[in-house]
A and B are shown apart, each in its own frame.
Chain A
Amino acid sequence: MKKLIAIAVFTIIAVAFVVGQGYCGDNLVQYDWGLYFGAHYTGSADYYQKAGEYYRTNFVTKPEFGLNYIGTRNDKILKVKAIYYDDKRIKFNADAVGGDIWSAHLGYRSFYHQLGHDLLENMTVREVVDTSNTPGGKMITHKDLNPGAEYGFARHEISSDVSAKILNKDNFAVRLYAAHKSFIEKGEHQIIASMHCSSCHLQSETADIDLYSHNIKGGIEGKVGKSTIAYEFGYRETESRAGETDILYDVAQHPVTGGAIDEFESRMLFDGESVPYGKISKTDKYSQTIKGHTELPFGDLAGSFTHSKAENKDVGIAAKSNGGVLKFYSNLSKTLRFIGKSSLNRIRNDPYFVDLPPWREGRTGGGQDFDYTRYSNLTRTVFKGSGDFIYRPSLRYRIALSAGYQSDKRDDYPSYNQEYNTQTIFAEANFHYKPSSRFSSRLKLHIEKINNPFMAVGGLLEKRMNGVASPLPDNSLVYYFQRDDYRYGDITKLPALSQLADISIRYIPSNKLSLVAGVKVSFDKNNDMGTIDFERTALEPNLSATLALNPKWSFYASATQMYEKLNGPLAVALMDG
């Protein structure tokens, strides 16, 4: 309701601003408007949350309003468009321009998103201990503390931007600009906590969603002759204002006898207590950019340098980045254009020391230290370079050839000081052929060769431990974590070779009929892993027709298909413990 009043007040003031003085002499005042009043009734049957994922079923009639206004007074223009569908689906846009000096925008939109409710019906099982179907041993159970709960959230987004030239001469101009975007998500969602020992028990509860993110950007831009230079800063802050959700974890104990509590507890970080769950940390990100562009006799040159820092405020770790981009465009001839781009970016994500209590502290053979420093695969140096040649001898033909290279050098993956480098080379050709206004076609061919794509390193499979692995000193048992020394096998679903062909044809045989047909084919593979040979094939044909039979009747029909096939592993350790 408050939002509606705010929108209405703003609109009235804005309209009054534009037309209030009325027509006077040589002043141009013109406006058009439209008002909409309506209502809607929403109903549903059975499970409506999927059919109406973005609707809210109310089974009551709700009013709708709309406003569309455009007005101009001399060198100012104001446009307002507002639609109120219900209290969770509103759209509002207002744009104002004053000559070539200033412009402003204010926008708001909201919608509701229904979420599913996991029934956890697959989380019920007990182990058999003999061939006579005798239950015993391990089990998995679940409990839903809010059965039948309906989950969803409303997302609200407010945006604004303003730009003003503070100096505006023929060859010299200075512009200030600022923009803001906030989004707010409010609602409820399902959380599922899984408790490891005691029994593998899952507990489902309802938790609030109350997420805020504010994003501001501002800058100053100076234009001198054919050159432009600008400085821009950006800041984004995200936090959850939902109250902390605590979950009571079971006491860790033998799931059948209830004994060995001390032993089980010595292996857990927490058990038998309420601990926070699903916390969204407060984070922010700021960035500063200097950018420039100039027109040279032989082309355009543009470049920028950005420094940014993304920080997790709750734990005090940050990822810093410094990077620059350089672009060059040149018309090599009347029919040939070249675009060259390159960028270099250095990202460093803070490591974090994870301090853990000793494992099985105070117990025979225990006391192992599992402290470690978490290093991140985000820490890397990325270099990219590409060149495009675009040949356009006439409106009929266009040929574009591109090639590029990218290198990702990760400093600490899969572990500290281990460099993991991925190098990608791509080539692409684009052909456009349009012999007349009735026929046009596009063909795109893309090939990418990736050396060492990102993958899960050395963790898919396990070597035999029977007869090989021994207990640690003072222990009679071999523990799960000792499996880490026997793991091997790299795996990924990213290709080492990727190929794509995309063709599209538009044919307009007459003023009444238009046909569009196309197909996209892609083929990826990776035979370099040593575990499996990965292949992916995708095919997407589409066909559509539009027929304007006569001024009274028009029809359209379209068919789209998507087919994708790929393979992957199912790897399981043959063990019992």
Chain B
Amino acid sequence: MFNASVGGPKHYGSFMGTIDYKTTVDMFSGGLTYLGIKRASFTLNGDFISSKAEFDPINMPSPPQDALDNLEYFDFNYGTVNTFSDLSYKRFDLSISGDYKVGKETTLTAEIIYIDFIDDNGYVYGDQTGSLYVLRTGLTFGLR
């Protein structure tokens, strides 16, 4: 509530600035398959994505003089607000897999999956940089 007894409520209207928001995503993928060894195949896939979502520093207009005079200790500068929610990530996925026909109806498979996530600008969750790897192997019996 406002104190109305001295000069009326300390309310001087609104002021407004413009936010320019940008999202940039770059993604590259590549892979190869090799079938050169008899009864075997080998596949390599890699993906890299760099993504950013941020807005430019906000320029607010000057408030009216009576607002500046009466709203003491207030900070009218919103120039650093953009840094609170800027997002910048990089992610790298790599998978290497191979299979080998051990017998007519038996195939041995192996796969490595590696995911690396880099958080350059921690948000409310903190720094989410981390990595994960999965090692898989197995045998398939039958024709399907």
Contacts and interface: CB of A to CB of B under 8 A. Distances in A.
A touches B (Cβ under 8 A): yes
Interface of A: 32-52, 55, 57, 64, 66, 68-70, 116-122, 128-131, 460-471, 476-480, 483, 486, 489, 531-532, 544, 551-577
B135 A41 contact: yes
B103 to A, nearest CB: 13
Q: State the main secondary structure of chain B at its contact with A.
A: strand
Given A118-B125, A120-B124, A570-B17, A576 B10 contact: yes
Given A68-B142, A465-B11, A42 B109 contact: no
Interface residues of B, number: 76
Contact of B2 (A464, A478, A565): A478
Interface in B16-50: 16-36
Q: Which of A46, A483, A554 lies at the interface centre, i.e. has the most chain B CB atoms within 10 A of its CB?
A: A46
Q: Which of B33, B58, B74, B144 lies at the interface centre, i.e. has the most chain A CB atoms within 10 A of its CB?
A: B144
A562 B23 contact: yes
Interface in B108-139: 109, 115-117, 119, 124-139
Contacts of B78: 570, 572
Nearest to B20: A567
Given A45-B130, A129-B73, A559-B27, A568 B16 contact: no
B119 A50 contact: yes
Q: Which of A45, A477, A483, A570 lies at the interface centre, i.e. has the most chain B CB atoms within 10 A of its CB?
A: A570
Q: Which 9 A-B residue pairings sit nearest by Cβ, starting from the closest?
A: A38-B138, A34-B142, A34-B144, A465-B11, A552-B36, A46-B130, A47-B130, A52-B132, A51-B117
B102 interface: no
A121 B124 contact: yes
A70 B125 contact: no
Given A52-B115, A561-B25, 13 more contacts: A40-B134, A40-B137, A41-B134, A64-B138, A66-B140, A119-B126, A461-B13, A469-B8, A558-B27, A558-B29, A567-B19, A575-B12, A576-B70
B88 to A, nearest CB: 13
Contact of B11 (A551, A560, A573): A573
A573 B144 contact: no
A32 B12 contact: no
29 contacts: A34-B140, A36-B139, A36-B140, A40-B136, A47-B127, A51-B115, A52-B115, A68-B142, A69-B144, A116-B128, A131-B72, A461-B16, A464-B13, A471-B4, A478-B4, A556-B29, A556-B32, A557-B28, A557-B31, A565-B22, A566-B20, A567-B21, A570-B58, A572-B15, A572-B78, A573-B11, A573-B14, A574-B15, A575-B12
B18 A532 contact: yes
A146 to B, nearest CB: 15
A48 to B, nearest CB: 5
Nearest to A483: B11
A576 B27 contact: no
A215 to B, nearest CB: 32
Contact of B142 (A32, A468, A531, A564): A32
Contacts of A558: 27-30
Contact of A574 (B1, B34, B63, B109): B63
A569 B18 contact: yes
A468 B8 contact: yes
A477 B4 contact: yes
Contact of B124 (A42, A64, A118): A118
A467 B14 contact: no
A408 B26 CA distance: 38
Given A122-B124, A476-B4, A570-B60, A38 B136 contact: yes
A43 B133 contact: yes
A554 B32 contact: yes
Contacts of A460: 14, 16
